[in-house]
Amino acid sequence: MAFAPKTGCPMCGIVATAGSAQTPSPPESSARPQVLWRDDNFTAYRETVNPVSSKAHIIIALNLHVPSIYTLSSSDLPLLSNIRSLATHLLSSHSTSPEASTTTMSQPDESGMRIGFITPPFRDNKIPITDHLHAHAYILPADKLGWFRGVAYGPLAWYAIDDLIAEIRESVSNNRVKSGYENRRNAPIDTVPDAGARHGAPSGEEHTAPTLAVQDVESGQKVPQAA
């Protein structure tokens, strides 16, 4: 199997042991991750040991042991769009932690959310996993982020998922998604998750690479629900 689980990989271990999103999450004191979402493609859990934000820090791991974002192709654009949608949904639903003040209970605005990847050779020294692709999603401010750890979440290492989606689309089409639209989240092309995922020749011959995603036969994609 391509991208099979790797022995000793912490993310593979979390994916393997994660139950359904409907299974009650373990208490804060438990060593088990608080799984918020599990489907055929992703396992999402709340980072409680070393969060970067007291409001919310969620990690979304691919179930496959995919080494990095550089393994992805344009056919994986729907996968990235689903990561973004899932992260936004989970941050909105789990935007407060027991240690957060009751004054922060309001729903966060999407402009205060950060969703993306830490690119090699950089890594989060508190969550030092570099060979199993996972996205970080958190709500500003990153009040638990020290200066050294902050390098991994800064401009040198951070790859925002919006930028990644836009740049992949630009690489396979003539749409100036990143540079040609001020608010990409509201760009018309962004209302179509599959946009840019397929490409081929004028003759109709398709050159699309296989996707890493496991397709939902009935609906095409799974709709995130609150855990």
For residue 26, the model assigns a pLDDT of: 57
Domains and CATH numbers, the chain: 10-21+31-96+109-191 (3.30.428.10)
Residues in Cβ contact with 174 at an 8 Å cutoff, skipping those fewer than 6 apart? none
Q: Is the pTM of this model over 0.85?
A: no
What is the pLDDT, as a whole number, of residue 169? 86
- How much is the pLDDT for 220? 47
pLDDT of residue 18: 85
Determine the pLDDT at residue 30: 58
CA-CA distance, 224 to 179, in Å (whole number)? 30
Predicted pLDDT at 27: 58
Mean pLDDT, consecutive 10-residue stretches, the chain (227 aa), reads 88 84 54 87 95 96 95 93 96 65 58 94 92 97 94 96 90 67 68 76 72 65 44
Q: What is the 3-state secondary structure (H, E, C) of the chain?
A: CCCCCCCCCHHHHHHHHCCCCCCCCCCCCCCCCEEEEECCCEEEEECCCCCCCCCCEEEEEECCCCCCHHHCCHHHHHHHHHHHHHHHHHHHHCCCCCCCCHHHCCCCCHHHEEEEEECCCCCECCECCCCCCEEEEEECCCCCCCHHHHHHHCCCCEEEHHHHHHHHHHHHCCCCCCCCCCCHHHCHHHHCCCCCCCCECCCCCECCCCCCCCCCCCCCCCCCCCC
Q: How is residue 26 written in tokens?
A: 């373990």
Sign of CA dihedral 47, 50, 51, 52: negative
How would you classify the pairing of strands 158-160 and 113-118? antiparallel
- Please report the pLDDT score of residue 226 as a whole number: 38
Nearest CA among 48, 34, 72, 51 for reference residue 153: 51
What pLDDT score does 225 carry? 41
